[in-house]
Amino acid sequence: MGADVRGSVTIGEPRLPRDPIVIDETEYDRILERAAGYIRGSTVGGGGCSATGVQPKVALTWDPRAEHWWVGRGSTPSTHLLKPVPNEHSPRVRAEAYLNDVARALGLSAHDARIEAAGERTVPQVLFTRGESDPLAMRVGGEFAPGLVTVEHLVREAEGWGMQRGRAMSVVDDTLRGLVTAVESLGERHGVSAGLPGFLLEQTGNLRRGDRAWTRPLPPAIAFS
């Protein structure tokens, strides 16, 4: 695990790099179909499951000059992370791509994401700068539940990074303002439900008023996004 990603931590016995494989459209479809499996007897590249996300994922390398996909097999770093899901689950991945765009607009993500339809599957393609996250990073100012986060939690989190309180309060306020601008400018791209941008604006408004982020249950349309 991890051998297709330059600089990542690998798990298990070291494997010698193998020559990358160029895949055609038929093989690409097969890889998406068995995303949680192996490819041609190699556990290096081409399919697997993220330990943190527990979702089927495929790590591939895109060659923009030849316009085809490679399976790196330990010799070529992957450039894209693909997460094929049945079309009935497409609202979840469309929401993920949309929220990535919001993060990019705020300068919080360097990833680029797009959505592709592939038969009975919806496939988000993420061009990434890879790095696994620390589970503790999911807490904000000590609070794990996102709906209970307040501005005070955000300020405490920034203080934990070494910011003075006045600077932390300013950064939080600027970020919330930037979030409103980003959501209003992005619209409903990636085919995302209209409820998601509206709910983000609602949460931002709650925080700026001094309330917790969620003051009511998630709308059904985005509850599982």
Assess contact for 130 and 79: CB atoms under 8 A: no
The reply to whether 96 and 119 lie within a common domain is yes
Cα angle 130, 151, 180 (rounded to 5 degrees) comes to: 70
The residue among 93, 127, 161 that closes a domain is 127
The reply to whether 25 and 123 lie within a common domain is yes
The reply to whether 100 and 52 lie within a common domain is yes
- Does a structural domain hold residue 111? yes
Phi-psi region of 114 (alpha: psi -120 to 50; beta: other; left: phi over 0): beta
Return contacts of 104-111, CB within 8 angstroms, 24+ apart: 105/178, 105/181, 105/182, 105/185, 105/186, 106/175, 106/178, 106/179, 106/182
- Does a structural domain hold residue 46? yes
The pLDDT score that the predictor gives to residue 115 is 82
The reply to whether 25 and 120 lie within a common domain is yes
The pLDDT score that the predictor gives to residue 210 is 94
The pLDDT score that the predictor gives to residue 10 is 58
pLDDT tens, position by position, for the chain (225 residues)?
445 555 555 556 656 667 778 888 778 877 777 764 433 333 334 444 444 455 667 788 888 787 888 887 766 777 787 877 777 777 877 888 888 899 999 988 887 888 877 666 666 666 654 454 444 656 899 888 888 999 999 999 999 999 999 999 999 999 999 999 999 998 888 888 778 898 899 999 999 999 999 988 776 656 544
Task: Classify each residue of 97-120 as buried b or exposed e, where b means 16 or more C-beta atoms within 10 Å of its C-beta.
Answer: bbbbbbbbbeeebeeebebeeeee
DSSP 213: S
The pLDDT score that the predictor gives to residue 209 is 95
Distance CA 56, CA 140 (A): 27
Q: Is 209 exposed, middle or buried (0-12, 13-18, 19+ CB in 10 A)?
A: exposed
The residue among 72, 103, 127 that closes a domain is 127
The reply to whether 109 and 139 lie within a common domain is no
| CA-based nearest residue to 94, from 122, 128, 126 | 122
Q: What is residue 184's three-state secondary structure?
A: helix
The reply to whether 30 and 80 lie within a common domain is yes
The reply to whether 214 and 143 lie within a common domain is yes
Residue 196 domain boundaries: 135-222
The reply to whether 118 and 49 lie within a common domain is yes
The reply to whether 121 and 152 lie within a common domain is no
Q: At what angle do helices 195-208 and 151-160 cross, to 10 degrees?
A: 80
The reply to whether 50 and 116 lie within a common domain is yes
The pLDDT score that the predictor gives to residue 167 is 96
Q: Give how many domains the chain has, as a whole number.
A: 2
The reply to whether 72 and 143 lie within a common domain is no
The pLDDT score that the predictor gives to residue 27 is 81
The residue among 104, 127, 150 that closes a domain is 127
Assess contact for 74 and 91: CB atoms under 8 A: no
pTM metric for this prediction: 0.64
- Does a structural domain hold residue 64? yes
The pLDDT score that the predictor gives to residue 69 is 84
The reply to whether 117 and 163 lie within a common domain is no
Residue 179 CA from chain centroid, whole number: 17
- Does a structural domain hold residue 16? no
The pLDDT score that the predictor gives to residue 135 is 44
